[in-house]
Chain A
């Protein structure tokens, strides 16, 4: 599976949009971009995923560049509860042998 590169940490202001970048320059055509987050002392939580089109759900938006070598997760109105480690993961969406491999992620701190 392709590797990803994320900033180690970032701060954002409460109520503002948080834009989390992720580079995945070696992504293959059949690999998806997944985003998860882990709030302190909790299990990781699925946020969103996409292949090449931009995606939006009730939690966030995912913008994938046309060449698919990078993506941005957007939290439209960050709250204090969005403080967490955010993981960008690239992986095949196959069947039985699928596995998610987590990197170090980006520690996002939302400040009042």
Chain B
């Protein structure tokens, strides 16, 4: 099925660890995004990439590093995980003309203990 897929769906890890979340889209979209949804349920954009190029980098700690090996993939690597990083992370993609808005993945629930 055409979709935005994220792995893993759940991630539980200890403070100080380094972890990665992978995202892939087979919609042919040029732009991909990472959003964070915290416990208060607000969705905040973190990064966006267009054709492997970083376009938007919100005020996110340097411990978060996105990597886009090609325009169909946008991975999120997090170093030295902290308790406050616990959240649901959503990947999304969009076509340049935004005819159908963003397509979001199903999310990765990260729990730092």
Partners in one complex: yes
Q: Which residue of A lies closest to B53 (CB)?
A: A96
Measured between beta carbons, the chain B residues less than 8 angstroms from A38 are: 43
Q: Which residue of A lies closest to B43 (CB)?
A: A102
Q: Is the CB of B68 closer than 8 A to any CB of chain A?
A: no
Measured between beta carbons, the chain B residues less than 8 angstroms from A99 are: 33, 45, 48, 56
CB–CB A95/B96 < 8 A: yes
Interface residues of A in 92-112 (CB under 8 A from B): 93, 95-104
Measured between beta carbons, the chain A residues less than 8 angstroms from B94 are: 98
Report, as a range, how many residues of chain A touch the other chain.
Answer: 20 to 34
- Give the interface centre of B92, B98, B103, B104 by most chain A CB atoms within 10 Å: B98
- Tally chain B residues at the interface, Cβ within 8 Å: 27
Interface string of A31-46 (1 = CB under 8 A from B): 0001010100111111
Q: Is the contact region of chain A dominated by helix, strand, or loop, or is it mixed?
A: loop
Alpha-carbon distance between A95 and B31 when the two chains are bound, in angstroms = 9
CB–CB A102/B100 < 8 A: no
Q: Which residue of A lies closest to B109 (CB)?
A: A41
Q: Which B residues contact A (CB, under 8 angstroms)? A: 4, 31, 33, 35, 41-45, 48, 50, 55-56, 90, 92, 94, 96-98, 100-107
